[in-house]
Amino acid sequence: MPGTEFDVLRELVARRRDVRRFQTRPIGSDILDDIFHLVEGAPSVGNSQPWRWVQVDGSEARAKVKSSFQAANEAARKAVPEDRQGLYANLKLAGLDEAPLQLAVFCDTQTTQGSGLGRQTQPEALHYSVACAIMIFWLAAKARGLGVGWVSILNPSDISDCLDVPASWDLIAYLCVGYPEDEHYDPELERYGWQDRVWSRHHVIKR
């Protein structure tokens, strides 16, 4: 890859943060169309494209999602060491009240597209494919000035039930999307003292 393209990618990745603080202004449909057009180019096992995106607009559904988050978040707070519970309680871990766009992203585990190619030995590759699509979405959103926050502190069955999706769909992510209040190069969890990012090659193991 030429240096200029790599530099653009490096900057995009550096600015890709998990956003929890959003402006409430809406996102243009043309911008979303551009982003989802790129997402369809994400890699997927056997060209299965198993991602299913549910746009959560209804106030009742959003209220149920928020209720699930609050219950799971309180349980998670109690599970951390006692000396860190106060720090945990002060973290903002979701933008559910502000984000104008909310997406539940599922994996269709029974999709017939791709005819099962590549899934016989690693059926979980379907889920990995959806994760790849989410990252393409995240980077494309950042390139259009949007922020994305992945809310993992939820009960997946709560989300599947309130959105009435097929039983064969597994929840992979719940995303809050919108224009960020501000931008940072460092992760919010690092800024607020939860965990520093480790920049090293120690995660690469040679055999």
At position 44, the amino acid (one-letter code) is S
Q: What is the pLDDT of residue 2?
A: 53
Residue 14 lies in a domain: no
Q: At what angle do helices 125-143 and 29-39 cross, to 10 degrees?
A: 140
Establish if 171 belongs to a structural domain: yes
Give the pLDDT score at 1: 46
The CATH number linked to 47 is: 3.40.109.10
114 assigned to some structural domain: yes
Show the tokens assigned to 157.
């069955």
Structural domain contains residue 55: yes
pTM of the model: 0.91
The verdict on residue 54 lying in a domain is yes
C-alpha 91/C-alpha 194 separation (Å) is: 9
User: Is position 204 within any domain?
Assistant: no
Domain count, the chain: 1
95 assigned to some structural domain: yes
In the DSSP assignment, the letter for residue 84 is G
Q: Find the domain containing 179 and state its range.
A: 36-191
Distances (CA, A) of 11 to 24, 81, 106, 110: 25, 36, 29, 37
Q: Tens of pLDDT along the chain (207 residues)? A: 456 899 989 999 988 998 999 999 999 999 999 999 999 999 999 999 999 999 999 999 999 999 999 999 999 999 989 989 999 898 888 999 999 999 999 999 999 999 999 999 999 999 999 999 999 999 999 999 999 999 999 999 999 999 999 999 999 999 999 999 988 877 777 777 777 777 776 777 888
Q: Give the pLDDT of residue 206.
A: 82
Residue 118, in any domain of the structure: yes
How far is residue 45's CA from residue 98's CA, in Å, rounded to a whole number?
35
Query: What pairing do the DSSP bridges indicate for beta strands 51-55 and 101-108?
Result: antiparallel
